[in-house]
C-alpha cells in the first residue's frame, strides 16, 4: 500500500473512484510477491504493479467492473490458462489477486504507519459469504486496532497475524479465508562516515525507500552541504550518535571511514544489535587488522562474522558511485532474505 499511497491521495483529491488489487499468492516465476499492490481508476490510470507488467491490463478491466458492482473479486492468472496469452502471462508462473474498491480506512491506516514509521497488519476476508468479502481489521504494532471482521473472527485473525512475519492467505475456518498483509516499517540505513561513497549511497537508499542517517564527527565530511539529502545528519562521535538512535531488525549499518577511531567504536555498538546488515569498507588486509583489534577488545568471533567485508557485492566497482551501488545491492539482498525468513 505504501507504494501507491501518493497516487491514491491525488486521485481522491480529484474525487475519482479507486480500486486496489493485491497479490495474495504466487507460484513459479511470478515476479511480484504476496502483498504487492496496484491501484487503478476507471479512466485507466494505474499505480504500482502486481505482475511486472504481465497482467496489468486485464486487472484494470476487472478493477473497473469491481467499482461498478462494488463487489470484491478473487482473480487467478496462470501460464496454463486459456487466457494466459491474452493477458500477457507468457513468462511462466501463476498469481492470484484480490481486487476491491478502495476502503477509506486503508488510506488512513497506511498514512498513519508512514508518519510514525511503524509496522502493522491489514487483514481482509477474501473468501466467505458475499456480505463478508472485503471486511477488514487493521492492527498496528503499537497495539492500536481499527475495524472488525466479526466478533467471532477477530480473535483467531489477531492470533494468526501475531505468528507470521510475512504476508499470506489463511483459512480461519471451513467458510472464511483471510489475507494477512504485513506492513513493515521503512528500513533505515545508518552510514558512519560522510565520505564520497556515502553521498551517493544516501541518494540510492532514499530512492529505494530507506530512511537515511549519516554520522561523522568531522565537520568537513559530515556537513549539511554534502548531506542535505539525508533524513538525519549527526555530527558526533559514534558513542554519542548511537545513544540517540534505535538499531532494530529493520536497520542496516555501513562503516565507511577507514578510520579505526570512528569505525571500531561503532562496530562495538552495533555488532550486538538486531541490525540485519553490518558492512565495513576496506580491503581484506584492512579487515584482517580490524578483526584483530575487535578480538583484542573482547568481541566474539560469532559477532565479528556478522560483518560484510570487503563491503558490497563483487561487481568490480571502482568509482564511489559504483561502490555505493554494490553496497546498496548487498543491503537489499540481506534485507530480502531477512524479510522472507
Q: How do residues 169-188 score in pLDDT, each as one tens digit? A: 999 999 999 999 998 888 99
86 and 49 share a domain?
A: yes
The three three-digit cell numbers of residue 303, written as one number: 559477532
The span from the CA of 315 to the CA of 326, in Å, is: 7
Do 229 and 303 belong together in one domain? yes
User: 229 is in which domain, residue-wise?
Assistant: 188-339
| Per-residue pLDDT at 340 exceeds 80 | no
Q: Are 58 and 111 in a shared domain?
A: no
pLDDT classification of 322: cutoffs 50, 70, 90: very high
Judgement on whether residues 241 and 262 belong to the same structural domain of the protein: yes
- pLDDT-derived band at 85 (thresholds 50, 70, 90) equals very low
Distances (CA, A) of 191 to 76, 200, 240: 43, 11, 15
pLDDT given for residue 29 in this prediction = 61
pLDDT at position 84 is 43
Domains of the chain: total: 3
Residues 116 and 197 in one domain: no
**204 and 318, same structural domain?**
yes
pLDDT at 153 over 70: yes
Q: Of all residues in the chain, what percent carry a pLDDT higher than 90?
A: 70
Contacts of 257 (CB under 8 A, 6+ apart): 192, 193, 195, 216, 263, 281
What's this model's pTM, rounded to 2 decimal places?
0.73
31: pLDDT confidence band, cut at 50, 70 and 90? low
- Domain limit, last residue, from 52, 82, 101: 101
The β-bridge relationship of strands 277-280 and 251-255 is: parallel
Q: How many CB atoms neighbour CB 284 within 10 A?
A: 8
Q: 35 or 79: which carries more pLDDT confidence?
A: 35
Residue 103: pLDDT over 70: yes
- Nearest 5°: CA angle at 115, between 23 and 16? 55
CATH number (domain holding residue 290) = 3.40.50.720
Q: What DSSP designation does 131 have?
A: G
Does 265 lie in the same domain as 240?
yes
Given 141, 165, 183, the domain boundary residue is 183
pLDDT at 44: 87
Does 112 share its domain with 93? no
DSSP characters for 192-212?
ES--HHHHHHHHHHHHTT-EE
Can you tell me the mean pLDDT for 66-91?
Answer: 70
User: Over 50: is that where the pLDDT of 293 sits?
Assistant: yes
**pLDDT bracket for residue 339 (50, 70, 90):** low
118 CB-near residues (< 8 Å, 6+ apart): 112, 140, 141, 142, 185
Place of cell 456480505: 131
Examine the domain organization and report whether 112 and 88 are in the same domain.
no
**Which of 324, 333, 338 is CA-nearest to residue 254?**
324
Beta carbons of 84 and 115 less than 8 angstroms apart? no
Computed over every residue of the chain, the mean pLDDT equals: 90
Q: pLDDT digit string (tens) for 196-230?
A: 999 999 999 999 989 999 999 998 898 999 999 99
Average pLDDT value for residue range 11-18: 93
User: Are both 32 and 116 inside the same structural domain?
Assistant: no
Q: How confident is the model at residue 195 (pLDDT cuts 50, 70, 90)?
A: very high
Range 297-305 average pLDDT: 94
Question: By the 8 A CB rule, do 266 and 273 touch?
Answer: no
Residue 92: pLDDT over 50: yes
Check pLDDT > 80 for residue 138: yes
Domain match, 202 and 272 both:
yes
Give backbone dihedrals phi and psi of 339, rounded to 5 degrees, phi first.
-65, -35
204 and 294 part of one domain: yes
Domain boundary among 86, 101, 116: 101
- State the greatest distance between any 2 C-alpha atoms of the chain, in Å, as a whole number: 69
Amino acid at each position: 500500500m505504501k507504494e501507491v499511497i501518493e497516487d491514491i491521495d491525488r486521485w481522491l483529491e480529484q474525487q475519482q473512484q479507486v480500486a486496489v488489487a493485491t497479490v495474495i499468492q504466487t507460484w513459479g516465476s511470478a515476479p511480484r510477491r504476496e502483498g504487492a499492490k496496484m491501484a487503478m481508476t476507471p479512466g485507466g490510470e494505474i499505480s504500482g504493479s502486481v505482475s511486472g507488467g504481465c497482467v496489468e491490463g486485464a486487472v484494470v478491466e476487472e478493477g473497473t467492473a469491481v467499482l461498478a458492482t462494488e463487489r470484491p473479486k478473487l482473480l487467478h492468472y496462470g501460464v496454463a490458462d486459456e487466457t494466459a496469452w491474452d493477458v500477457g502471462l507468457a513468462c511462466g508462473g501463476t498469481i492470484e489477486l484480490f481486487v476491491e474498491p478502495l476502503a477509506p480506512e486503508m488510506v488512513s491506516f497506511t498514512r498513519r504507519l508512514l508518519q510514525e514509521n511503524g509496522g502493522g497488519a491489514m487483514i481482509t476476508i477474501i473468501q466467505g459469504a458475499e456480505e463478508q468479502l472485503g471486511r477488514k481489521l487493521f492492527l498496528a504494532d503499537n497495539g492500536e486496532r481499527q475495524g472488525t471482521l466479526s466478533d467471532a473472527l477477530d480473535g483467531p485473525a489477531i492470533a494468526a497475524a501475531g505468528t507470521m512475519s510475512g504476508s499470506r492467505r489463511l483459512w480461519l475456518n471451513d467458510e472464511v479465508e483471510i489475507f494477512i498483509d504485513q506492513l513493515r516499517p521503512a528500513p533505515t540505513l545508518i552510514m558512519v562516515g560522510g565520505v564520497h561513497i556515502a553521498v551517493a549511497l544516501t541518494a540510492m537508499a532514499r530512492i529505494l525507500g530507506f530512511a537515511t542517517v549519516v554520522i561523522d564527527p568531522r565537520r568537513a565530511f559530515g556537513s549539511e552541504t554534502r548531506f542535505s539529502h539525508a533524513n538525519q545528519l549527526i555530527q558526533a562521535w559514534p558513542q554519542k550518535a548511537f545513544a540517540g538512535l534505535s538499531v532494530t531488525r529493520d536497520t542496516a549499518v555501513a562503516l565507511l571511514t577507514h578510520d579505526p577511531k570512528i569505525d571500531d567504536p561503532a562496530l562495538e555498538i552495533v555488532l550486538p544489535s538486531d541490525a540485519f546488515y553490518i558492512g565495513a569498507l576496506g580491503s581484506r588486509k584492512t579487515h584482517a587488522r580490524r578483526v584483530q583489534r575487535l578480538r583484542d577488545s573482547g568481541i566474539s568471533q560469532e559477532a565479528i562474522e556478522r560483518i560484510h567485508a570487503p563491503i558490497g557485492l563483487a561487481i568490480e566497482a571502482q568509482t564511489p558511485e559504483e561502490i555505493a551501488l554494490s553496497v546498496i545491492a548487498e543491503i537489499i539482498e540481506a534485507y530480502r532474505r531477512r524479510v522472507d525468513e
